[in-house]
Amino acid sequence: MSINMEQTFRWYGPKDPVPLQFVRQTGATGVVSSLHHIPYGEVWSVEEIEKHKHLIEEAGLNWSVVESLPVHEEIKTGTGRCGEYIENYKTSLRNLGKCGIHVITYNFMPVLDWIRTDLRYKLPDGSEALYFNQAQFAAFELFILKREGAEKDYTQEKIAEAKAFYESMTPEEVKNFTTALIDNFPGFKGVTLEDVRAMLAKYQTLTRADLEKNLKHFLSEVCPVAEEAGCILVIHPDDPPYPILGLPRIFSTADDVKRLLAMVDSPANGICFCAGSFSGRLDNNIVEMFKACADRVGFVHLRSTQHDGNGNFFEANHLEGVVDMYGLVKAILEEQIRRKKAGRADWRLPFRPDHGHTMLDDLAKPPCPNPGYTAIGRLKGLAEIRGLEHGIIRSMGY
C-alpha cells in the first residue's frame, strides 16, 4: 500500500515570482496558500476562496492547506472588536469547509510572524540562507527601537556585542538593517519603528497567562465550528521559539504542546509541526516531540537549523543541521501507517520544504519578496526529502 506523504509547495498567489507551472514541475501535487489580499480579521467569502482555488486547480494542482488564516491582534489581546473578529473567523472556516479545503494553519504569536536578522547570510558555498543573530537583534532592540526595559533581557556581554555591531554600521546600513528586519514583523511591508512601538504597547501589560487564556477562548469558540465544517486548525510554533521583544511566547516547547492540546479537547484542535521552528531551541527533541503529539498533527514543515552555540542559528540544508530528519520522516510514515490501518480519512499528512537557500540562478535575480521562498533552494529540499522518504519506505517493506 502507498504510505507516501502529500508533497506540497507554498505559493503566495498571482504575484509570487515562482508561478504555479513551476510549482507543478517540482513534483509537488498540492499547494499551500492564503488569501493575502484580504485584510486580517475580514471574512474570506466563498467567492474569493473559489477564485483562488480555481487558479490552483487550473494549473493541475490542489489547494491542500491554508497557510494562514490570520488571527487578528485584537483576538490575541482579547480587546476591542475581539468578538466580531472571532465571528468572522467562524464564517471563514465554514466557507473554507464548503469549498473543500480542510487544513487551516494559524499562529498566536503577538505582533511577530517570524524574525531573522539577515535575509542573505552568505554560506561557504556561496548560497544564501536566513540567519538569526542574537547580538544583532539586541542591537535593534536596544539602540534602534530603544524598547524600554530591553536591557534586562540580555547579559552585559551580549549588550557589549550588540553595541559593537551597532557602532560598526553606517547610517545607511542601519536604515537597511532596520527595514529588512521589521518588514517581516506583522506579515506585511512598509511598517515603521513607530508602528512597531504602537503594536508592542498593546501588549505592555499582557502576561503569558493572559495570552494562554485568550488562545483558549479563541479555540473554544472556533473549534466546534471547524468540526462542523470538517476542518482542522493547526497552530504554527513560535519562531524563534522563546520570548522576544518582551512579548510572551506560548507555543515553543513540548510542555507548550501538551498545554495546547489540553485547552480544548477537539479533533479540530491540531498542530502544524514545523521542525525548523522547534529546532530553534536546542533543548527540544524534535523526533520525540512529534511522536508525543503525532495523532493531532495535521500539517508538517520539514526543515532544519544549524547553531553556533552562542544563541545564533541559520537555516541549514534540509537533511543537515540539528534535526534528525531521518528519524522524523520515519516517525511521520509510521504515524501514517497507524492512521491508515485505523481507517482515518486524514491518514496522509501534507508536508512542504521550508526556507530554502537562495542558490544557482536565483542568486542573480532581484531579491525574492518572500524571503526563504526562492524556487531552486526549496526544490532541492523537496528532492532531498522525497529521496529520504523513498529509502525509508523501501526499508520498511512497502
Let me know whether 362 and 232 are in one domain: yes
CA 187 to chain centroid, in Å, comes to 11
**CA 303 to chain CA mean position, Å:** 11
Are residues 354 and 342 both part of a single domain? yes
CB atoms within 10 A of CB 112: 20
Q: What is the CATH number of the domain that holds 285?
A: 3.20.20.150
284 and 380 fall within a common domain: yes
**Percent of the chain surpassing pLDDT 90:** 90
Query: For residue 172, which phi and psi values (nearest 5 degrees)?
Result: -70, -40
152 and 193 co-located in one domain: yes
Q: List Cβ neighbours of 308 (8 Å cut-off, separation of 6 or more).
A: none
Residue 295 has pLDDT above 90, yes or no: yes
Please check whether residue 128 lies inside any domain of the structure.
Answer: yes
> pLDDT-based confidence at 311, cuts 50/70/90?
confident
Q: Which domain holds residue 196?
A: 118-201
What is the number of domains present in the chain? 2
Q: Give the three cell numbers for residue 358.
A: 537562495
Could you tell me which of 198, 201, 273 has the C-alpha nearest to residue 235? 273
Over 80: is that where the pLDDT of 397 sits? yes
**Is 378 within the bounds of a domain?**
yes
Would you name the residues annotated as active-site residues?
Answer: 236, 274, 301, 354-355, 373
Q: How confident is the model at residue 191 (pLDDT cuts 50, 70, 90)?
A: confident
Backbone angles phi, psi at 271, to 5 degrees: -130, 135
Q: How does residue 140 score in pLDDT terms, banded at 50, 70 and 90?
A: very high
pLDDT tens-digit readout, 83-107: 999 999 999 999 999 999 999 999 9
Grid cell listed for 124: 561557504
Decide if 1 is inside a domain.
no
- Residue 295 C-alpha cell reads as 495523532
Question: Which phi and psi angles does 388 have, rounded to 5°?
Answer: -60, -45
pLDDT at site 187: 57
- Taking the C-alpha atoms of residue 355 and residue 377, their distance in angstroms, rounded to an integer, is 8
Cell for 329? 520522516
Inter-residue contact 45 to 96 (CB < 8 Å): no
Q: Is 148 domain-assigned?
A: yes
Answer yes or no: is 334 within a domain. Answer: yes
CA-to-CA distance for 57 and 20, rounded, in angstroms?
10
Q: Which residues contact 165 (CB under 8 A, 6 or more apart)?
A: 135, 136, 139
234/320 same-domain check: yes
- pLDDT more than 70, % of the chain: 98
Residue of 59, 1, 69 lying closest to 30 (CA atoms): 59
Together in a domain, 385 and 316: yes
Residue 180 has pLDDT above 90, yes or no: no
Q: CA-CA distance, 252 to 278, in Å (whole number)?
A: 6
Q: Which of 30-39, 165-174, 177-186, 202-211 comes out lowest in average pLDDT?
A: 177-186
Given this model, what pLDDT does residue 309 score? 80
The predicted pLDDT at position 2 comes to: 87
Last residue of a domain, one of 163, 178, 201: 201
Whether residue 65 lies inside any domain: the answer is yes
Cβ burial, residue 54 (10 Å; 0-12/13-18/19+): exposed
Q: Are residue 230 and residue 349 in the same domain, yes or no?
A: yes
Distance of CA 195 to the CA centre of its chain: 23
Task: Tell me the C-alpha distance between 332 and 266, whole Å.
Answer: 21
* Residue 265 near residue 296, CB atoms below 8 Å: no
Residues 195, 223, single domain; the answer is: no
- Between 310 and 117, the more confident residue is 117
**Cα–Cα distance measured from residue 387 to residue 370, given in angstroms and rounded to the nearest whole number:** 26
Residue 37 lies in a domain: yes
- What pLDDT, on a 0 to 100 scale, did the predictor assign at position 1? 66
| pLDDT at position 185 | 66
Same-domain status, 146 and 65: no
Q: Which of 176, 201, 226 is the last residue of a domain?
A: 201
Q: Which DSSP letter does residue 358 get?
A: B
CA distance 122 to 361: 15
Angle at 314 between CA 310 and CA 316, to 5 degrees: 125
Residue pair 206/110 in contact (Cβ under 8 Å)? The answer is yes
Same domain, yes or no: 138 and 51: no
Select from 149, 182, 201 the last residue of a domain: 201
Q: Are residues 171 and 69 in the same domain?
A: no
Contacts of 99 (CB under 8 A, 6+ apart): 46, 49, 50, 53
Q: Based on the fold, state whether residues 285 and 234 are members of the same structural domain.
A: yes
Predicted confidence band at 181 (pLDDT cuts at 50, 70, 90)?
confident
**Domain for residue 180, yes or no?**
yes
